[in-house]
Structure 1
Amino acid sequence: MFKFLIFLLYFMSACCFSAEPQWLKNTQSVLVVLAHPDDETWLSGSLALFSQQKKHIQVIYATSGGAGKDRSGRGLSGANLAKVREQESIAALKKLGVKLPPIFWRLDDKQLEAVDYAKQIEQQLKSLSDKRHYELFISFGKTGITGHLDHIFIGEQTLNYWRDHQNSPYFLQVQVSDARANHAQKVAEKFKHPYRIYQPVANELVQLRIDVKAFQPQRVAAFNQYATQFPLSLQSLWKVFTQESSVEEFSVVKR
């Protein structure tokens, strides 16, 4: 009964708060700063929506994911894996309608906080912002959704830069609520898959839910570009989850 109430609360809140606010509709330029190729999965429907609205979207990947595991069966690693994952991310963004090619900083995967790239990231963001004013910045929140230290670090550094150097009024932090994570867990259990979202946030910390139901095919197509990251079993799980979960969630940081 308790779990049912959680799901009911989640779907009621999604229905009530999934309308896109006017300030977001009016936003024309968006900078998305992520840690790895495939991180855009958490906001892929929103990127497809922004693309349909003809917003200027620039996606940055701080690393190229070379320290990860190759799940395609090709035995790729290091620089070879990173090169393929970059190509996968380019293909995924195209599926979402993003016109601009992504920017790859090629920093050390799984070493962002250890090496402390804070100053370099600040300089990179300043160089980019000097060329174009971005009305909206998007990155990870405090938990990084999965608890990945690279996610947390890149989210912190991007937020710090926005606070110190930008006059845009809004910063979006990509989140997954407790209710949505529980939903994902239920889907995973149906597939007998060990998938789990390790660091969701309390439901009340989500202030913006964007309805992305119309972009479910694009979300699935983009996800399926990552053969090195997502095996077929996870692709099947994602297809069902995106059919049943029609919103993407954000915390909103305001000036």
Structure 2
Amino acid sequence: MSTKDEKSPESLTDRVFAVLLAFVDAPELGISDIHRRTGLDKSVVHRIVRSAVAHGFLVQNPRTRSYSVGLRAWEIGRGYGGADRVVALATPVLEELSKEHQVTCYLGRLDDLEIVYLALIDSPGPIRIVQEVGSRVPATTTAVGRALLAELDDAELHRRIDGRVAPADQERLLAKIAESRAVGTAVNRGEFTTGVASVGALVPSTTTPEPIGISAAFLLFDDNEGMWTSLPPAVQEAAARIARDLDGRPVSRKDQR
């Protein structure tokens, strides 16, 4: 007689979906949590989770060692049209930043050496910089990408770039990352798109398994050099406000201006 739990999924496909569906009402789960929710053996859960991480459907939080839904699942879920909590909390802050500084604002998440845009707010000005939500761009040549790469420790950073970024480009990238670590923001002076500059910053939240960040983009003109003075602190402050909202910390009066 079989000792299998009658509620336990039978086929491999059922087991995979059971693991993924365990996250529907739980933002983060450990192996034991998934085991309890699905009735699957921990060894089976381990194998499915490892494969799901490899394909980007789950990501592991390096601080808690637990798992949450990954970008690939989010990209599929975009077809339903729902916005996740990060987008919902970040949008009003980005709208305010966009309006005040006449810039196009982006919210992005780091995925290996790419940035996936989760949200964007068009500039209220007559000229707009177009980039679609869900699109992927190189992290090495964008302001938000460099800001998020700067958050990685040196071992993880080199694991991602060694052998994939040319030595000369790697030297320049590491110099820019060092600068970003020193000042707290990263800049792009037209390296990704000619004539378009941007300032990026990490959203220093403790609740996101992969680094997320924001950037503000504007067109390079001779008469807007003042943006390099006014925009970096504004982007950094907006990122801090989003992090406080995500982490459930109170927002100061200064942040509510």
- Calculate the TM-score normalised by the size of structure 2: 0.29
The structure with more radius of gyration: 2
- By relative contact order (CA 8 Å, sep 6+), the higher-ranking structure is 1
Determine which structure has the larger helix proportion and give its number. 1
